[in-house]
Amino acid sequence: MFTLAHLSDPHIPPLPEPTWQELLGKRVTGYINWRRKRRFIHDGAVLERLIDDLKRQAPDHIAVTGDLANIALAAEFARGRDWLEHLGSSRDVSLVPGNHDIYVPEAALFAARQWGSYMTDDAGTPGFPYVRKRGNIALIGVSSGVPTAPFLATGWIGTTQLTALAAQLETLKNEGFFRVVMIHHPPVTKAARHKQLLDASVFRQVISRHGAELILHGHDHLHMINWLYGPDETRVPAIGVPSASAVPGTDKDAAAYHLYVIDSQPGASRIELISRGVTAQGDVVEEKRMMVE
């Protein structure tokens, strides 16, 4: 048995106060949105209670699918590094960036400097997609975060990553690994186009040809489960979680994380999903337990 925890979109609050130079370009619209709305949604105390509960569950590994930052200020990346180190070592935590982490062109460099050890393969080699192997579980980190124009939250994987992903999935399948793909944007969504993964159809084609056992994502701040087709009409679950810092009572789901108890045997795998989330009273409780099948 292997227990994998998944959380996403902590949008670590509060937002550091930016300089006026930092607000040139896209960041100004994000800052206004933070002041008007998002600061009332993302709560540091909620995030802390969720992480404390997650640690008590003692998972074997933790997957984080992006959006540690809000508007990609330099100070947010240092704060994100501290948060990651509190969550666990880079051996025990795997990260992919979200659109808020790569909000502006220079943000990719900030992320690599501060969070790089959480986004590499087992040899410490940077670049996406990366592969980490834990027993017979293979975690594959795909980046969909790209800089976009104001008012856009779209994602893009790109041909280079998708080609490498196809090869990795096939190799890992032949080696008998249980393959977990981590990506920020969901491959299936009801969100408006300006928030979607623009090459999602190509990603789904890669999955249909090469398969995977589990896809984890964030971005929509909702409990989500969609089924993709793999080879020979097998089904691949794509599962999303809410923001890890979301207060109860907004138009999105309250903060939660998932635990996956994976029993992977040659030719047969079982996945039990346990959802733990924050109640209106501020407690973290088990919300749901189900077999993913």
> Is-cis flag, bond preceding 129, omega within 30?
yes
DSSP lists the bridge partners of residue 257 as 276
Both structure tokens of 62 = 């933790």
CATH number assigned to the domain comprising residue 147:
3.60.21.10
Q: What is the DSSP string of the chain?
A: -EEEEEEB----SSPPPPPTGGGTTTHHHHHHHHHHTGGGTB-HHHHHHHHHHHHHH--SEEEE-S---SS--HHHHHHHHHHHHHH--TTTEEE---TTTTSSTTHHHHHHHHHGGGSB-TT--B-SSEEEEETTEEEEE--------TT---B---HHHHHHHHHHHHHHHHTT-EEEEE-SS-SS--S-GGGSBTTHHHHHHHHHHH--SEEEE-SS-S-EEEEEE-GGG-EEEEEE--BTTBPTTSSSPPSEEEEEEEEEETTEEEEEEEEEEE-TTS-EEEEEEEE--
Query: Structurally, how many domains does the chain consist of?
Result: 1
Structural domain of residue 82, as residue ranges? 2-291
Cα dihedral 195, 144, 272, 80 sign: negative
Q: How many residues does the chain have?
A: 293
- Look at residue 211 in the predicted model and tell me its pLDDT: 97
Residue 210, phi then psi, degrees to nearest 5? -120, -15
Sign of CA dihedral 30, 33, 39, 44: negative
Give the separation between CA 285 and CA 71, rounded to whole angstroms. Answer: 31
Q: Which residue has the tokens 């159809």?
A: 201
What gap in Å lies between CA 65 and CA 78, rounded to an integer? Answer: 18
Residue type, 275: S
Strands 61-64 and 93-95: parallel
Tokens representing residue 229 in the block: 């087709």
Q: Give dist(CA 66, CA 101) in Å, integer.
A: 7
Specify the pLDDT at position 269: 83
Separation between Cα atoms, residue 235 and residue 214, nearest integer Å: 10
**pLDDT tens track of the chain, all 293 residues?**
899 999 999 999 999 999 999 998 899 999 999 999 999 999 999 999 999 999 999 999 999 999 999 999 999 999 999 999 999 999 999 999 999 999 999 999 999 999 999 999 999 999 999 999 999 999 999 999 999 999 999 999 999 999 999 999 999 999 999 999 999 999 999 999 999 999 999 999 999 999 999 999 999 999 999 999 999 889 999 999 999 999 999 999 999 999 999 998 766 689 999 999 999 999 999 999 999 98
Q: Are 217 and 186 within 8 A, CB to CB?
A: yes
